[in-house]
Structures are given as C-alpha cells and as structure tokens.
Amino acid sequence: MAQMLTQTLKTEAINTQIGGKIAPARPVSDQFGAIAGHAGLVATEFSYRKDEEIYGEDEPAEYVYQVVSGAVRSYKLLSDGRRQIGAFHLPGDVFGLEPGQTHRLAAEAIIATSVRLVERASLERVAGTDVQVARKLWAMTAGELRHAEDHMLLLGRKTAMERVATFLLEMDRRLAVANMMALPMCRRDIGDYLGLTLETVSRALSQLHAKGILGFSGARQIVLRNRQHLHNLDA
C-alpha cells in the first residue's frame, strides 16, 4: 500500500457518500453501506492499474475493500507458481475482509479498477459496539464460505465441461447486462479459477459455441443462448 501515497487519493466521511450510486452493473444490496452507515467511519477511494497487486498473501490486513468499478482476482500460489484463484470480485463486491490479522489470499486488479476502502481497525471498532454491524460482517464471511464450498465441489468432482458451464452461469448472473457478459479476465485466469489449463477452457468454450449454446462477439463478449442446456451440463 506504499504506492498509495503516490496516486490520487480521495477521503471523505462515509456517511456523506454511502447510499449514493456505487456503479455496480446491476442492482446490488450495498453491503458496504450496511456496515458503514456510522459516524466516524471514513471511506477512501483508490485506483489500481491492470495487474497491479492490491495486497499479498499473508500480508497484514489493514483495509477492507469494495470494488467500485473494474475487477479483482483473489488467489493463492504454490512455490512453483501454480495458482488457484479462489474468487473474482466484481463491482459492488466486498473483499479483503478478515477477522484475523492477515490476508489469506493475495489480490490483484484484473483490469483498471477503483475501490472504496475502510480501515479494518475502525470497522472492528464499530463492530465492537454495534451488533448489527457484527452480524453483517459474519454474514459476509459466511457468504464467501458458501461460495468456497460450492467451488470445492466444482474443483474436486466436476468435469472440465461442467466447470466451464458453471462458470458461465455464475458470470452471467453476476455481470450480464442486456443478456451479454463482458468478461474482464483472460483464459488463463478462468483456467486458474476452474482448476484447468487455458487450452481446456478455450476448447470447452469452442465446443459450446459450435453447438450454438453461446455466441461470441470478441473472445470476451459472450451471449448465452441456452441457459437450460448449461444448467444440465452443470450436473
């Protein structure tokens, strides 16, 4: 976070800002608003360039983040460079929330991304006096756990085609606008999320394209033409 000082930085009392638009592509319950509608909580805006690190694995968890625009990947690495992406964070999503002292995964901007952030310490302070806030933090962590549990099933037991079908339905749900989704991430990111190689992801997408189940307009602009078929593949 050292380079933060060298970049544009905007700080303001959160309760003058939260409640306004935060630019998600679709209606999203504003999780940050729910936890941050409190005097004394200060939110800061910050931006990252494509592929810039937001925090590293096992780094002290100083801030909690919300994506305003762009996209973020959270991941773990093995010593030889193998990577597992645990989650993609899209506009509206909160990430980096930890009750412990350190981040369990690293986080990087996938594309140019701006975030809102608050100090973990101040959030903890508020949670220490307001049970509603404490409850909300618990619920957010539980939401992440639910996603992780679903993803373990995918990684441990689904075939390549089932994984890709599940991925497409997830992204369709989370970022499709007017029936079209604009994926921010490359094939390698998708592979590292699904426990596959980028070639296998590409082949699965080509197969779905050949069957007319999806349409492309550019490799990252996808229209789902047959969600039911994908749901069936998804097992």
Partner DNA sequence: CGTCCATTTGAGGTGGATCAACCCTAGTGG
Partner DNA sequence: CCACTAGGGTTGATCCACCTCAAATGGACG
* Residues in touch with DNA (CB under 7 A): 159-161, 186-188, 195-203, 205-206, 216, 218-220
**Between 89 and 158, CB nearer to a copy of itself:** 158
The least CB distance from residue 21 to a copy of itself, in Å, is: 28
| 3 state SS of 110 | coil
Radius of gyration of the chain (CA): 18
3 binds, among a copy of itself, DNA, none (CB under 5 to 8 A by kind): none
164 binds, among DNA, a copy of itself, none (CB under 5 to 8 A by kind): none
What are residue 178's phi and psi, to 5 degrees?
50, 45
129 binds, among DNA, a copy of itself, none (CB under 5 to 8 A by kind): a copy of itself
135 binds, among DNA, a copy of itself, none (CB under 5 to 8 A by kind): a copy of itself
The least CB distance from residue 196 to DNA, in Å, is: 4
**Between 50 and 173, CB nearer to DNA:** 50
Q: Distance between CA atoms of 220 and 218, rounded to whole angstroms?
A: 6
Q: What is the arrangement of strands in the sheet containing 106-109, beginning at the earlier edge strand? A: 53-55, 106-109, 72-77, 83-89
Residues 110/189, Cβ–Cβ less than 8 Å:
yes
Q: Which residue in this structure is represented by tokens 């890709």? A: 164
